[in-house]
Chain A
C-alpha cells in the first residue's frame, strides 16, 4: 500500500511505537520563541535537567513581543537569551536580528524536505511548504523536544487538496486558503495532515506556498505540506549547494518524500482555483468566509499588513504596488510590519517602505505585533481591522475587536477606500 508524504517522513523518523497508532519521532529541528519556551526552560532547570539534545538543531527567536514592552516580557526575553548562551545555541535571533519565527527560519535556510520539526506555536505548519512535517505543539512537548529530541504523534491521516487551474489576476494564495478553510470548516482537518497538490501549487513561489500551509491549522490540520520541486530547490540552493553536485541531484534526493501514486488518503478534494475570487472573513472563526464582493463597503478602523501569513517581501510588493502614489482613507489608521529584518531592508531598498510611509502607514519593526494583540496595534472594543493575518478569534487583536482576514492586495485597497473593497488588480479575468 502506497504512502503519503507524512507517512514516509514518519517511517524515516520513528524511534518507538509506544502503543498502536502512536509514534515517537526523532526531530530534525526544534524551533523556540519567547512566549512558549521560557516555562519549558524554567521547568527543565527546576527538575535538574537543564540540557539540550543538540544545540545545532535548536533555533530560537524573540518575536512575539519585541523589543520588550514591560517587565514580564523583558523577563521572557532574558530567559531565552541566557538559555541560548548557556546551551550554546548559536542560531538565536535577538533584538536587531529578529523577525517573525515562521518567516525568519525559512529565510535562514533551516528547513529541508523530509525534516521533522516542532515548535511551541500552532503556525509551525507553515514549514510544510518545503515538504517537511512541521507541527505546532505545547510547552511540554517542546520541553521534551529540547531535552530528548523526540515528540509523539498519532498516525497521520492525510487530506489531499488538489488545486488546479490558474489564479485570476488579483487572487492570491491567501484567497485560496480562505476558500479551502471555508470548504473544510475549522474542524474539518483536525488530527489530519493536508497535502496541497495540483498545478496551481506548482505555479506558486515559496512565499505563497508558506501562506497556504500557514493556515492549515485554521482547519484543524496538523501540518500543511507542498511537494518539493525545483521551486523548493531554488529557494534552498544557497544553503544546500555545497551538499549536492547539481540542483537535479538535490531534487532527486528530496523526491524520496513525494507521495506514492497509490497513497491512501482520508479524503481528496479537487478545486479549480480559477473559480476563486478574493475572499474575506466576517465572523470570529476562520471558516466564516465570504467573497470581498459580498462584504464590499464594510467599514474598518485599522489596517494591518504583516505576520507569518503575509508579511513577506512578495506580500509587501503586492500591497505597495496598489498603494503607490495613494493615501489611506482618513477613516483608518494603517500599520505594516515587515516579517524579518532582511525583508525590511529589501523593502527599503526597493522603495516599498517609502510608498507605505507616503500613503500614511506606520512601519514597525519585524514582530508578531497586532496579529495576536500582545504588543502593538491592539483594537478598542467595537473596532475592526482589515488584516493579512491568520486568526479572527473573538478578542484576538484586542477585547471586543473584529478582525477581517484577507490578502495583502485586498488590505491595501481597503486602506485607500476605508471600507472593504476589491483591489484594482482583480478585474474578474
Chain B
C-alpha cells in the first residue's frame, strides 16, 4: 500500500482539468516516469510555479471538480511520479477519481465547509497531512495548530487501495 502523508500543495481553484495537469502533447510518452517534469505545467493559477511549488509535496488540497476533462490516466501518473499519492477536494471528475483508485492512489472528497476551513487555516504556509486509514481521519498541521478531519472512503475503493490497484484486484477475482 502507498503512503498518504506529507506536505500539502494547495491549489485554490475549482475545475482544474486534465489538460492542465498534463498537456496532451506529452501523451506520446511511453513510460510514466517520462511525464515527471511536466506536472501541472499548464495550470492557470496566479502565483503558481510548477518548477518551484511541486517539489517535496505529497498531498494536493483543492476545490471542486478536480481532474475534469480527458480520461488520460497520465494525470494520476504524473502526480504519483512527483510523489503525490493523495488528492483532497470537494469532488472529482468520475474518470480521474476512478483512475486514482485504480492505481492504488486516493482521491477523497470532503465537505465544502471543511475544504474552506483547511484553506482558511493552513494555505499560504507550510502544512503537513497525516492519513489514518483505520480511523479514516486526516490530521492537518502547521507550526502552530493541528486539526483532525474525518473522511469517508467506499468499501470497494479501500479494497483497491489495499490491493495496490484494480489490475491486481480484478485478476484475483474475475
Contact = CB atoms under 8 A, between A and B. Distances in A.
Chain B interface size range: 35 or more
A329 B76 CA distance: 43
Nearest to A145: B170
A35 B27 contact: yes
Given A36-B71, A138-B76, A374 B27 contact: yes
Contacts of B133: none
B174 A186 contact: no
B71 A138 contact: yes
Q: Which of A65, A136, A391, A393 has the most CB atoms of chain B within a 10 A radius of its CB?
A: A393
Given A16-B173, A136-B71, A399-B23, A72 B28 contact: yes
Interface string A177-216: 0000000001100110000000000000000000000000
Interface in A122-153: 122, 124, 135-141, 143-144, 147-148, 150, 152
A139 B30 CA distance: 12
Contacts of A137: 71, 95, 98-99
Interface in B1-60: 14-15, 17, 19-20, 23-25, 27-32, 42, 44
Interface stretch (A18-26, A294-302, A345-353, A408-416): A18-26
Given A150-B174, A393-B17, A43 B29 contact: no
A399 to B, nearest CB: 7
A19 B159 CA distance: 10
B27 A140 contact: no
Contacts of B14: 187
Contacts, number: 150
B98 A144 contact: no
A164 interface: no
Given A137-B71, A220-B94, A391-B69, A373 B64 contact: no
A284 interface: yes
A138 B74 CA distance: 9
Contacts of B17: 393-394
A38 interface: yes
Nearest to B20: A394
Contact of A140 (B42, B64, B166): B166
Scoring B15, B23, B24 by chain A CB atoms within 10 A of each residue's CB, the highest score goes to: B24
Contacts of A124: 71
A344 B71 CA distance: 28
A148 B170 contact: yes
A148 B171 contact: yes
A274 interface: no
Contacts of B165: 140
Contact of B156 (A18, A120, A144, A150): A18
Given A36-B71, A39-B32, A121-B71, A140 B24 contact: no
Contacts of A255: none
B124 interface: no
Q: Chain B CB within 10 Å — which of A20, A21, A285 has the most?
A: A285
A148 B94 CA distance: 22
A395 B15 contact: no
Contact of A394 (B28, B42, B70): B42
B95 A374 contact: no
Nearest to A74: B28
B166 A152 contact: yes
A396 to B, nearest CB: 6
Contact of A136 (B23, B27, B95, B103): B95
A22 B98 CA distance: 12
A190 B15 CA distance: 11
Contact of B98 (A73, A152, A393): A152
A76 interface: yes
A66 interface: no
Interface in B82-134: 91-96, 98-99, 102-103
Nearest to B28: A72
B28 A186 contact: no
A217 B156 CA distance: 24
Interface string A13-47: 00110111110100000000001101100110001
B73 A139 contact: yes
B62 interface: no
Given A36-B72, A140-B73, A76 B170 contact: no
A286 B118 CA distance: 29
A220 B28 contact: no
A253 to B, nearest CB: 28
A49 B168 CA distance: 12
B154 A191 contact: no
Contacts of A154: 94
A22 B101 CA distance: 13
Contacts of A79: 30
B167 interface: yes
B34 to A, nearest CB: 9
A138 B95 contact: yes
- Name the residue among A24, A64, A152 with the largest chain B CB count within 10 angstroms: A152
What 10 A-B pairs have minimum CB-CB distances, sorted nearest first? Answer: A138-B73, A138-B99, A19-B156, A140-B102, A187-B65, A19-B155, A395-B42, A72-B28, A136-B71, A139-B73
14 contacts: A36-B73, A138-B71, A140-B166, A140-B167, A144-B170, A190-B91, A220-B94, A222-B94, A391-B69, A393-B69, A394-B17, A394-B42, A396-B19, A396-B24
Given A16-B174, A39-B30, A393-B69, 6 more contacts: A19-B156, A24-B174, A39-B31, A121-B71, A220-B93, A394-B17
